[in-house]
Amino acid sequence: MREIITLQLGQQSNYLANHFWNTQESYFTYGADEESAIDHDVHFRPGIGSDGTETFMPRTVIYDLKGGFGTLRKLNSLYEIDGDPSSSSLWSGQTVIQRQQPIEASAYQESLDTGQAPTELTTSSVRYWSDFNRVFYHPKSIIQLSEYELNSTVMPFEKWHMGEELFASLDKEHDLLDRDLRPFVEEADQMQGLQIMTGIDDAWGGFTTKYMERLRDEYGKTPIWVFGAQEPSRGLPREKRLLKLVNKARTLSELNSQASLVIPLALPERPLPSTVQLDSSSPWHVSALFAAALESVTLYTRLRTSDRAYSSNLGNITDLLNVFGKQTIANLEMSIFEAPMSHQNGANGTNGTNGETNGLNGRGENVRDLYENGINLDNESESGSQKGAATLEIDLSSPQDLNLDTSGRRRRKRHIFSQVIGDRGLQNLNRANDDNDRELREQFGMQRRPKFHNYRSRVAFPLIDSYPKIFRDSYGHPVRENISIKTALSTDSTVTDKVKAIRNTVIRSIGLEDREAIGNELAEIADSYKEGWSSDSDEDYDDE
């Protein structure tokens, strides 16, 4: 059944995952003559509620700190427990019950509970990730860690070793894999793999690396993807930025040898294209942009195999990207497209998947012309042809890390080892992409492994009522229905420069007992993205 089990570790990941689950829920069809292009069994598990009704809930385990769940309850309307719990107590004396003031439900949640039209969400009304949640979770999915409190000023959960120590103490007491994860694994018939959403620049990075060690002990050959969210650091004091970089360096050095693929997610500090307008101080907004990219790049792992679009799996995509066997850090980029036909009809921008109109990108350029004329593609380099590689508008792979290098050296031009390109909701790209595929086959022949792999689907990204209106059409109007997205997941040489820059910046801030080991691991990661091409040629430098 190709099941994927998700682990959500911390507040950043839960904002991200909540967008993901809301989107998956929107793909469900309820008419007898309708069939979704999405195979829901990949991410959802069937079950029976307390009243005997059938349930369909995410295959996920959610960890968060005390106070992090907001109004989300462990038990919901599908899994209520009748009766007063105190009635079964062995204590026969008088009891005194003290209750903390409950968090009031958001207006959006109240409207969902009463079956009314959802109230429009705003950055001020979203206080917790549960404020825009549309999905019921199984009680076993909800794991609160009461040792730390969300946003505590007394003992903030922000240093890497705090997460490492928290996992060690909890796992020693409970065996977290056996208690929390194994029930979901045992339900899977043919588990495709695990996807982990976590923060990598705070204490959750330490928690994740220890969890990953245990996962590898139990599931040695299972594909495990890690999506590492990072908080925007612009405007933070230097000490805070340095702490986040130290946490990130530690996390990457540990995950590199354990994960199948690590995909860092960071809001770029350079201005976003006009198609995207978001509030960088809102986790709801920032995680929405991350979720659009994450949901799009993994779309092909849950499509029905009978769908005309290409279907794949986590293991296959990992093999395509990890060309030399030790390149586990991948960069994620995306571009947003709209259909001009929507303006002719006087409507807000949509994806135009049912027509043959040519899409526009954020600069108003025609999508088909971009591909047929080779614009927005990397040029050929000495070290091998890069024709066919996509360079998209929004780089989520922490491009600002390159600015940490203050040596004044010119940057090397990006060399792509392998790239998985995904088009969704853009029918008109089929012919252009087929031409690109044919040209690559003619140039390299069938004996050489291609560097660029194209996946396509007519399934557009749905903009549901829980998703913020961060996307704009070419007229500046909010896009309200759905959009077309192009993604590129790459293993490329920029990882070398980023990891070197991080290493040089943080190495003196790491304790002596760990400094050498972490420094060596980061150096090995950087070297892993040099193999197979010449980095010494002057033509490999970018003059930008």
Domain at 224, CATH number: 3.40.50.1440
Q: What is the mean pLDDT of residues 508-531?
A: 91
Asked if residue 93 is part of any domain, the answer here is no
The type of residue at 277 is Q
Asked if residue 118 is part of any domain, the answer here is yes
Task: Tell me the DSSP string of 75-131.
Answer: S-TTS---S-GGGG-S--S------PPPPPPPHHHHHHHHTPPPPPP-TTT--SGGG
Q: What is the mean pLDDT of residues 140-144?
A: 95
* Pair 305, 350 in one domain: no
| 512 pLDDT above the threshold of 70 | yes
* Pair 479, 523 in one domain: no
- What confidence tier does 59 reach under pLDDT thresholds 50, 70, 90? very high
The type of residue at 84 is D
For residue range 329-355, list pLDDT tens digits in order. 999 999 998 754 444 333 333 333 333
| pLDDT at 32 (0 to 100) | 74
Percent of the chain residues topping a pLDDT of 90: 63
- What confidence tier does 105 reach under pLDDT thresholds 50, 70, 90? confident
Q: How far apart are CA 322 and CA 328, in angstroms?
A: 6
Asked if residue 94 is part of any domain, the answer here is no
* Pair 309, 378 in one domain: no
Domain of residue 525 covers 493-530
* Pair 116, 222 in one domain: yes
Asked if residue 54 is part of any domain, the answer here is yes
- What confidence tier does 239 reach under pLDDT thresholds 50, 70, 90? very high
* Pair 350, 258 in one domain: no
Asked if residue 15 is part of any domain, the answer here is yes
* Pair 200, 219 in one domain: yes
* Pair 246, 324 in one domain: yes
The two tokens of residue 104 are 């009031």
Residue found by looking up tokens 């462990």 in the block: 74
Q: Where are the alpha helices (DSSP H) in 237-313?
A: 238-255, 283-297
pTM: 0.86
| pLDDT at 387 (0 to 100) | 63
| 436 pLDDT above the threshold of 70 | no
Q: What is the mean pLDDT of residues 4-13?
A: 97
Task: Tell me the DSSP string of 49-61.
Answer: -TTS-EEEEE-EE
**Number of domains forming the structure of the chain:** 3
Last residue of a domain, one of 491, 515, 538: 491
Contacts (Cβ under 8 Å, ≥6 apart) of 193: 4, 222, 223, 224, 225, 260, 313, 314, 315
* Pair 486, 499 in one domain: no
Q: How far apart are CA 492 and CA 489, in angstroms?
A: 10
The type of residue at 459 is V
The two tokens of residue 169 are 């103490």
| pLDDT at 34 (0 to 100) | 82
| 442 pLDDT above the threshold of 80 | no
For residue range 352-362, list pLDDT tens digits in order. 333 333 444 44
Q: What is the mean pLDDT of residues 424-442?
A: 53
For residue range 195-236, list pLDDT tens digits in order. 999 999 999 999 999 999 999 999 999 999 999 999 998 889
- What confidence tier does 53 reach under pLDDT thresholds 50, 70, 90? confident
Asked if residue 413 is part of any domain, the answer here is yes
Q: Residue 324, Cα to own-chain centre: how many angstroms? A: 24
- What confidence tier does 76 reach under pLDDT thresholds 50, 70, 90? low
| pLDDT at 367 (0 to 100) | 43
* Pair 46, 30 in one domain: yes
* Pair 476, 500 in one domain: no
- What confidence tier does 305 reach under pLDDT thresholds 50, 70, 90? confident
* Pair 253, 360 in one domain: no
For residue range 456-497, list pLDDT tens digits in order. 998 999 999 999 999 999 889 999 889 999 999 999 999 999
Asked if residue 273 is part of any domain, the answer here is no
- What confidence tier does 326 reach under pLDDT thresholds 50, 70, 90? confident
Vertex 192: Cα angle to 452 and 421 (nearest 5)? 20
* Pair 32, 10 in one domain: yes
| pLDDT at 311 (0 to 100) | 86
| pLDDT at 418 (0 to 100) | 94
Nearest to 158 by CA among 215, 114, 200: 200
| pLDDT at 207 (0 to 100) | 98
- What confidence tier does 48 reach under pLDDT thresholds 50, 70, 90? confident
| Cβ atoms of 202 and 10 closer than 8 Å | yes
Last residue of a domain, one of 491, 516, 538: 491
The b/e string for 442-455 (b: 16+ C-beta within 10 A; e otherwise) is eeeeeeeebbbbbb
Q: How far apart are CA 353 and CA 482, in angstroms?
A: 10
Asked if residue 45 is part of any domain, the answer here is yes
- What confidence tier does 388 reach under pLDDT thresholds 50, 70, 90? low
